[in-house]
Structure 1
Amino acid sequence: MRADQLDFYSLVEFSPDSGAIQFSGRRAILLHTDAMGALRKELVETLGADIAKVILTRYGFSCGFEDAGLLPGFMHPDTLEEFVRGGPRVHMFSGIAEVETRSVEVDRARGHYRMSGNWRRSYEAEQHLRLFGRSDEAVCWTLAGYASGFASYVFQTDMICVEHECEGRGDEHCSWTLMNAAECAPEFEGLRKYFQPLNIKDRINVLEGKVYERTRELEASEQRYRNLIEDLPEMVFALHVSGRMLQLNKAGRTRLGITPEQLPNMRLRDLVLPEYQVAASNFLKSIASARAATRLDVVMRDAGGRPVPMRLQVEPVFKDDKIVGYSGLAIDITAQQERERKLTEYATRLENREQQIQDIINDAVYVLDLDGRFSFVNARMAELLGVPADHAIGRSCSDLMLHSSALRVERDFRRRLAGEGGPPFEIMLAPGGAPNRLLEVSSAVLSTDGYPEGVIGVARDITARREMERQLAQANRLSALGQFASGIAHEINNPLGLVSGFAEELQALMESIPGAQSNPDFDVLRQGLTTIQEQAQRCKAITDNLLLFSRKQAVPLEVVDVAMLVRERLDSYRELGLTRGLDVELRTEGPLPAVATNPTLLDQVLRNLVKNARDAMDGRGRVVVVLRPAGGAVELDVLDEGPGLASGVIDHVFDPFFTTKAPGRGTGLGLSICYGIMSELGGRIECGNRPEGGAWFRIHLPADEVGSDGGAEASMQ
């Protein structure tokens, strides 16, 4: 039979029910090419490419030799040439590659045999490219081994297949030549070793020797590195990923008075003063997060107990892209800080000398030309005017300012050009969509060579300063009122106690008189004594509130979920009937931070605000309580639909005895007490009118910053 007549199905027999496949009369198995690729990868990475090539070449040789021994029973070749051509045919049947035979030379008399051809779509080249990329050498090791084994059986002499071109190194296809091993040219002599038995033990011994030699070299190199680090004058250290000290060189140990035995139990934070320990702990977290070198200035204590400023320069140590530790350098920056101190003193002197210039640069600046139009505005002035700087040029004050402010600037402009002086003046600007800003303006004539060119003005924003002045005045007024109220309350309480006590004794004495129960005159007397006691108790309640308003004491704080607390308090008001007739809604905007406050005092403030809202709406209407985060605080708003706060009332609502309620319905102390409570809680209370009608009261509760810091420190331990 000719090789091209060899049929695949005549060589293969499938028995799926018995889990067997017969190929050329021998049991075979199906393997994915990726599995062979995985084997190749494991061999190359474990034993090296050279040994892997030996193993895979001998594996292919064995497959080819076995197939050649079984093929004659199926093929019955007429000639050696047809027999050897059957090898490529069976190779293709196995899915190894597409084989094209170009020439076959058979000279049995001289024992000379040669064969050549091409492989296309070699599975081995495909896997090598996938796993390792393009190679510098031919990579179809099992294919060459198979051809060598098959031909060696057919010709009964040692044959070697040489791959000249290979898809695995970027060639268009794989080309090969099969030749007598004895006839190999000198350049192919080295191929013989890939067909020889592999002595793994000797190979391992050689590798172990190389590893041992390399280990000794690494140990010597590491020792040289350690000696170099140990002798450096700077402090050098190494840290475990947990922050534990692994190494501190001699200079560091001597400088800090630490023995080598102490190092394993120390962390970086143990080397710095207590006030820097939290920063040192967070320092390593920041390095781990940034995955890059970072600096930190700390203060350490040397062996003599003296504080020494140090700059830590620490970088992470990676292994397989994972942080396994840190290496660092501690540099004494005493001299540097001294230089910086002197530079700071010099800069301060310069700053004092040029303070006026700095003030102008940092504030809003404008220039009006001789026509009273803007010829220059800096960025801050443009922001306050609410237009881009280039849009302000050429426009008058009346185009961009409130009418009253424009008149004030224009009057100052005319006075300056007329040579008149004057103190700074105030104007109000309303940037588009932003709150009004109060400005203090200083101006002067701008001239060149004695000729006036316009007027330059510097406007300083004093809105915050005025608000602080207002709050300070309010605080001083309330403090003075509180002291006065406290004195009055103490003076009134004693006589009130006597009045109430004597009234009680008179009642008891009257009841002991015979016939008092049936005497109408005694009823009048009894009713009068009862009224005296009720009014005395009312006065007592007023003086108690005065004392509560004026007290100054430390308030115990605790961390609370303010949303839960407010919800529970509103539910309790509903059960007690405090909000009967009201539609009370609670809104929570966004996640709220924990708040450090006193729940009892906060309840007192909230209760008072809800009662005031109810009274303002005559017991009927809608009250909205809003909670929202605001920077480092939580804001709590109580909104009502009442008549709002009349003009001139807002500035006095927190004053003692100030009330808008009818006589007998309020003492004017409720909001004053709320004001004092919020001061004790570290917050504040404000009020105003809603655009849609009604009043709003807002309290600011500071977030629990201390608890957050403590938790951060604890997480580093």
Structure 2
Amino acid sequence: MRADQLDFYSLVEFAPDRGAIEFSGRRAILLHTDAMGALRKELVETLGADIAKVILTRYGFSCGHEDAGLLPGFMHPDTVEEFVRGGPRVHMFSGIAEVETHSVEVDRERGHYRMSGFWRHSYEAEQHLRLFGRSDEAVCWTLAGYASGFASYVFQTDMICVEHACEGRGDDRCAWTLMNATDCAPEFSGLRKYFQPLNIKDRINVLEGKVYERTRELEASEQRYRNLIEDLPEMVFALHVSGRMLQLNKAGRTRLGISPEQLPRMRLKDLVLPAYRTAAANFLKSIATARTATRLDVVMCDAEGCPVPMRLQVEPVLKGDRIVGYSGLAIDITAQQERERKLTEYAARLENREQQIQDIINDAVYILDLDGRFSFVNARMAELLGVPADRAIGCSCGELMLHSSAQRVERDFRRRLNGECGPPFEIMLAASGAPNRLLEVSSAVLSTDGGPEGVIGVARDITARREMERQLAQANRLSSLGQFASGIAHEINNPLGLVSGFAEELQALMEAIPGARSNPDFDVLRQGLTTIQEQAQRCKAITDNLLLFSRKQAVPLEVVDAGMLVRERLSAYRDIGLTRGLEVDLSLDAALPRIATNPTLLDQVLRNLIRNAGDAMNGAGRVSVILRPAEGGVDLEVLDEGPGLPAGVIDHVFDPFFTTKAPGRGTGLGLSICYGIMTELGGRIECGNRPEGGAWFRLHLPADAAGADTSMP
């Protein structure tokens, strides 16, 4: 049969009821050219144009080689010339392009073959022009690969198709020549690399490096935006390094009566009353010099024209060693200033101010006399200092406080007596046997008949507030990185699927080659393709963890016996070998309330903590699991005897991608996922170091609200 007699309907069979199409006796699918264009775009943008060309050329080569093997059963060609002309016909039937064969030269004695022709309406040139515009070189990579693969099968020798003209670079039509690979002129010898096996592993490593660099670039901008939550009741803003407003959340715009269109023309000093504008301008300069978070009390004008005292808390946003902007909060301190004013007036009027102040205020209050010694402390202040109130009288700050805190109070004392004003400041108090407490101190000169007799200070415990701010920042960071991680995971999964699929197809093709199993060179190829699939699966596991880290969904809860659940899970861990080499001790309190949790997710957290404890002790040692009642639920602790958590690590153990394990042993997502799970379960997770050595992790599991007063026997 001649090639021009080959009929499309003799090659294709449609079976829509079975969801199948057969083309040349091989299952086929209908695929939009836009989908192939999307694949080309992904490959070019992810791996680069050169690697994309290799992949698509080899894909076309495989298609052509396989079509050539199937076509004789349908065509029954009379000659080799007719057989090779069948390739363009099949190409046209596939909707790839309109093919016109110009000439065919066959010299079987010398093994010399040559063929030339034209392609018109190439789908590949069309897609490249749509996605990338006009190219400087030929872009019909799969077409050239198909022709090379088909001819290589027909002539049983290596053939290469060279595209001289291409619609993708502005030519009227695509012109091509098919020749022996050995006959390629020097200028075409470089085409050989597009038919060689591709080291996908190295390319994946390059891709991972790019992802890592992109992550580092995003970290600087993440610092600017992590606290900017549109629905926060506080005013949140972001500034350009010049002081120009970049963003102001809804609470700020509503409170100050500013529209989004006005923001780009405004600066921080434009938000305050004229009397505070110089201070606001100098405020940013001081932050740039100190390169740390700073506060400033100002007065702003709200939407109704009323003055509102505000406390600005601003910190610089750094990219490397360079300040690229500022982020901050504006907190309404009207109520706080009013309380402090009334407290100062009240203390000046009352003869027995000590007892009355103690009766009406829960904040810690102290008075320093003109020598800088305590002349009064209320009960709360005495409790924080860790001494009875009468023993504190007459003592200096340095005798009862940490050195740094004492210096800060004494500096404020001198400034107040010199008539200077200043914002509130923070100190740390550490009473013996009690946890450290962070206090925010506001002070004023205490005077009688116009003459100063000391300084009165009000210290408010802000430890819990700072912890909530830290948890909010952690949640914001996890949320932002979760969205980023989800996007990256989805973007990587698609090319990974193609890599694995092509590797599997290449393995199948290689095994079909006669003598492949006895040829040692094929063993190298087989091992390489196996490595490609293994590494692709490893990357797939990492992206699965990224998607798990980024999930946000409602979690079904059920009421369970915490002791029974933990006992069953530890027994299961022993059965599967998770605790092999470890001595696991379980300690249960006799009266544990029922908890409302999700057993599957709690099992995931407990499993991760047990595995981390084993890793910390190199697979051998004692792990203690303790369950005890706690306020509002149950505390579950996992303690190990490892080296503990080094300084500087504790604050970052729940950060995504942070790990102390060796490369290849962890992704840094395990504890981040645990943190997210505990948040979804309405609980929390904490960590620290044991005095006797090793680390501890504590899970707080909320009790069942309906039966919070009942305990398990």
Q: Name the larger-Rg structure.
A: 1
Taking structure 2 as the reference length, what is the TM-score of the superposition? 0.49
